[in-house]
A and B are shown apart, each in its own frame.
Chain A
């Protein structure tokens, strides 16, 4: 069995537990995940399940994308992802669905998703640098300051923290607790926040 599922982040809300505590939860709608291909170590060099999820119109999909599904006679899906498994899983065949039932209330999960893009950000926001004085004659407000030495070495050290694109990177949070599972609506409620914007895709894996 594979302890993972892809889902869509719906947003955050609040619920109460039986003790009466108000819990901040994120609702994740589990997608219908179809096994497209089972990869075998002997044949493909590693063990993995190729999974398709999300809906797409037939004419919008590219031919190579469609070919992946047609080859294995699986219904066309928008996204293709691979999940590595430890040993060859003969339990799954192309066309099988991943089941939400592998998760139970109280389970700890790892959640992977792309966080929100912040655009071109300065060093204070991006790397947590300190800012200079805003007044008293100071002109050094939010600038990065010195970035290196003089004519030796006359270059900037590799990996120097500088302004640039921030966010929209893959982030994994670990140890999030499942508070509730609403099976008839395919919803999972996870305690706390989850990376990404509303409507973005996340991968849930059991720790």
Chain B
């Protein structure tokens, strides 16, 4: 019996955190808190997915805006076709995943820097396409004018919060499972050395493609959820390079290729986002400085820095020990 209780010990803290996060909106907390948390959940989902790509699969995909914007747009178009938003969110994620599958035909032929550049062009193309395309509505909607999202004004901040919590939880669980499966083992082998991974029987192409599609699904969900809250979508902001900056900042500050890196990074990003909002133009300027400084001081991210410090401290105490004994 003792062993059994011991096995559940590591899950107690996460469970407590989770339950308190779920019930938080039931208490009379300020609306602003719910908003901060909502942003945190959406950014965390995207950052987790991007960490899976850049941190674990060696895919420096500079196109999160493509998946996020596409998820948002598909959800919006569906609400215009009288389909409820919660259904639209799921379809938005799936559409982003299918889109990832389609563009993989092109971008997966490219290697290294070409892949980074090829993916960077994708959101730019989508932006231009959606500036021209008016799938639903009259002449005054769509294109550069963007769309109002129908039937989302009734969503309360509490419900938005819970949806955000749900997708960020999903992204955490996805990454958790992937990293502990054979799939994750293959990814780790690829990250360390893809040639020797391939020669040991790892299907490098297939694994990379899977993680590309999974990440696209997660980012599509995040985009769709984000725009249900915004209530309005237009191509210039939906496919903006700012999305790339958010996931990049969150992942890099926390620690790229570290499972809990995006969590820490996203907390900092959301904090900066709202703390610096009052300085308007200065906000991004300061974030730029922070990004550069972190990369110079701790290119492995804050969690990476802690890890290295602990290893250093550990080897230091080990050196000390024999002298005492």
Is B truly associated with A?
no
